[in-house]
């Protein structure tokens, strides 16, 4: 789901074929950095850009229909490197502000594909979930996504639920973690049993490699948990939805091996609190945040001893654009 923390980009168009990028995000990369507005949309060209954090910005500039010059100033409330889709929110915001004059960035699916392409140009083999949620989610709803087609539908979150996000303080990045290794391992498993999103538990026996079997078991189980969670949310069964979140974290820790001791401890401490129904890591793992499903009013984030937020399912950028004209996407 999109949340009410976000990234904002102020864009002042200019001439000269250069893009000046600066950041006012707390704990962010800083700047300013000057980029060539005509940078080609090729991985080798993007990979040559320094500092590393500017590569994603350069990739979005390269994919812009206008090849603009000017000044981009990044700010917002979304913490960086915390597993809350800060890079996706940045890309979605850039897609909006760099749209051709008199137009917008397009429908959510098109925005998500462009942002995914930019991440991959910058050396991050990510999917389209994060930008699609940032662009296409609806207030009060989670987003159920079919990834081969990027078809999606809104799933109402019961009003009796609170969602609390807690920062572990352990920073990581997709580029420096084992995220790409997990992508390769899943691809290797899929070459044997077919697309993992369509596989069933009985198919796992075809995998002779026990490591690939564990990776595929997580994906197959996670897809089943998602379908079950949709049914639970739509029926108002928060207990089941919370249990599925906790089962998801166990699978992420054991079969997918993307958790850390700090994340595991944080999940356990949250799960022990009255009114917490379930918790799991969020994002790509290896650090970042934990998200907990709670009964309304049960948890006060200010009392948790770590940076924490009570977040609300919010409109993505397309809904805000169509409804209010606001440009800053949520995470």
- Write out pLDDT tens, residues 187-241: 999 999 999 999 999 999 999 999 999 999 999 999 999 999 999 999 999 999 9
Nearest CA among 18, 95, 22 for reference residue 60: 95
Catalytic residues: 130
- Examine the pLDDT at 180 and tell me if it is beyond 60: yes
pTM of the model: 0.90
DSSP state of 302: G
Domains of the chain, each with CATH number or no CATH: 7-146+315-323 (3.30.230.10), 158-311 (3.30.70.890)
Out of 69-73, 114-118, 312-316, least confident range: 69-73
Q: Which residues of 224-238 are buried (b: 16+ CB within 10 A; e: fewer)?
A: ebbebbeebbeeebb
- Residue 49: strand, helix, or coil: coil
Q: What's residue 29's pLDDT?
A: 59
* Class of residue 210 by CB neighbours under 10 A (exposed 0-12, middle 13-18, buried 19+): exposed
Q: What's residue 148's pLDDT?
A: 85
- Examine the pLDDT at 119 and tell me if it is beyond 90: yes
Q: What's residue 175's pLDDT?
A: 66
Out of 32-46, 174-188, 244-258, 290-304, least confident range: 174-188
Distance CA 258, CA 321 (A): 35
- Helix and strand numbers, DSSP H then E, in the chain: 10, 10
- Examine the pLDDT at 124 and tell me if it is beyond 60: yes
Cβ-contact 174, 126 below 8 angstroms: yes
């Amino acid at each position: 789901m999109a949340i009410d923390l976000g990234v904002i980009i102020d864009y002042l168009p200019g001439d000269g074929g250069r893009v000046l990028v600066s950041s006012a995000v707390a704990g962010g990369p800083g700047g300013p950095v000057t980029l060539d507005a005509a940078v080609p949309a090729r991985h080798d060209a993007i990979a040559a850009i320094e500092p590393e954090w500017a590569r994603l910005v350069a990739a979005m500039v390269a994919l812009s229909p206008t090849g603009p010059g000017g000044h981009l100033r990044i700010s917002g409330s979304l913490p960086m490197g915390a597993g809350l889709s800060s890079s996706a929110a940045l890309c979605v915001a850039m897609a909006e502000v760099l749209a051709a004059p008199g137009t917008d960035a397009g429908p959510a699916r098109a925005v998500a594909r462009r942002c995914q392409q930019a991440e991959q140009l910058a050396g991050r083999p990510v999917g389209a979930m994060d930008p699609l949620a940032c662009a296409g989610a609806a207030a009060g709803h989670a987003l159920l996504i079919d990834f081969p087609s990027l078809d999606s539908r809104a799933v109402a979150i019961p009003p009796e639920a609170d969602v609390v996000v807690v920062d572990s303080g352990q920073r990581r990045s997709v580029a420096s973690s084992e995220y790409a290794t997990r992508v390769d391992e899943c691809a290797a498993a899929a070459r044997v049993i077919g697309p993992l999103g369509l596989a069933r538990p009985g198919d796992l026996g075809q995998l002779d490699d026990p490591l690939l079997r564990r990776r595929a078991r997580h994906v197959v189980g996670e897809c089943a948990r998602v379908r079950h969670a949709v049914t639970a949310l739509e029926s108002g069964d928060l207990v089941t939805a919370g249990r599925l979140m906790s089962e998801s974290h166990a699978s992420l820790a054991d079969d997918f091996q993307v958790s850390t001791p700090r994340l595991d401890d944080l999940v356990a401490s949250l799960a022990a609190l009255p009114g917490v129904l379930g918790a799991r890591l969020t994002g790509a793992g290896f650090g970042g945040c934990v998200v907990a499903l709670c009964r309304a009013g049960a948890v006060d984030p200010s009392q948790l001893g770590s940076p924490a937020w009570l977040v609300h399912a919010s409109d993505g950028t397309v809904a805000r654009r169509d409804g209010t004209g606001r440009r800053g996407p949520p995470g």
